Amino acid sequence: MPRVEANGLGFEVGDEGAGTPVVLLHGFPDTSALWRHQVAALTGAGFRTIAPDMRGRGRSDRPADVADYALPKMVGDVTGIMDALGIQKAHVVGHDWGAAVAWLVAALAPARVDHLVAISVGYPGAAGLPTLEALQKSWYRLLFQFDGVAEDLIQRNGWYLLRELLQGGGEEFDRYVANLSEPGALIAALNWYRANLPPDRLLGPPPPLPPVAAPTMGVFGTADLYLTEGAMAESASKVTGPWRYERLESVGHFVPLEAADRLNKLLLDFLPPR
């Protein structure tokens, strides 16, 4: 993958195809490899796909400070990568943390986003205070706050805790472990949680953000082990443009892998070639 300088950092960016650009933003514990099935489908349909390893992840730079992983900085990453590649406006698709970033890009840099697709994670704070179910599903976020302790526990006994958290992880597990075993990779991945989900913000008011004007599609797998559907469903109230919601029955959290064909069909139906 080519290397792109943006927002003061170096990013490994997959840039394939031609035509209308689609920016693909991954989450934890993934890299841009998450999108391989979507890249094939989108480029085959005449789109250009831009899939970066997000900051701290994959082969992209890993800043040292926790504060460097605050979500607003990621908006500059995305727009900076677009600038470096000569892209003024693109469709933006995000999953997990990448969806949170995608929402912010659409809210804070609306001129850069044509259509938005958010997978699994809804508009930040749309659902209000977390429910008991949401707190139970997100127990690992509290563990991840403990600097040093979390890193040690996750890697013990052949990465047993990560394997359990991911329900085995399937064929992706070895990929995750190889990536997170690189120097500084695990702490960088956990710093996303430490910078954006500290315990003192858990029951606080959501951040004040503008609504999203771009046509937006929310996609949620009903068998998600980590997130509740309410946050995605309530995102409709934060979108002033056209809103479309797709529930994928019996699909878990990792929609781009677990339901690749179904997601690809949704993307090709929703994203105009311009």
Is 90 exceeded by the pLDDT of residue 129? no
Tell me the pLDDT tens digit for each residue of 28-79.
999 999 999 999 999 999 999 999 999 999 999 999 999 999 999 999 999 9
Q: What is the Cα–Cα distance from 206 to 228, expressed in whole angstroms?
A: 17
Is 90 exceeded by the pLDDT of residue 182? yes
Quote the mean pLDDT of the chain: 94
Report, as an integer, the average pLDDT of 243-263: 97
Is 80 exceeded by the pLDDT of residue 205? no
Burial zone of 165 (CB within 10 Å; 0-12 exposed, 13-18 middle, 19+ buried): middle
Query: Residue 60's pLDDT is what?
Result: 98
Q: Are 25 and 52 in contact (CB under 8 A)?
A: yes
Is 80 exceeded by the pLDDT of residue 206? no
Q: 100: pLDDT confidence band, cut at 50, 70 and 90?
A: very high
Long-range contacts of 83-88, Cβ-Cβ distance < 8 Å, separation of 24 or more = 83/6, 84/4, 84/5, 84/6, 85/4, 85/13, 85/15, 85/21, 85/50, 87/21, 87/23, 87/50, 88/112
Structural domain boundaries in the chain: 3-132+208-270
Query: Residue 131's pLDDT is what?
Result: 84
Q: 199: pLDDT confidence band, cut at 50, 70 and 90?
A: confident
Query: Residue 169's pLDDT is what?
Result: 66
Query: Residue 107's pLDDT is what?
Result: 97
CATH of domain 3-132+208-270: 3.40.50.1820
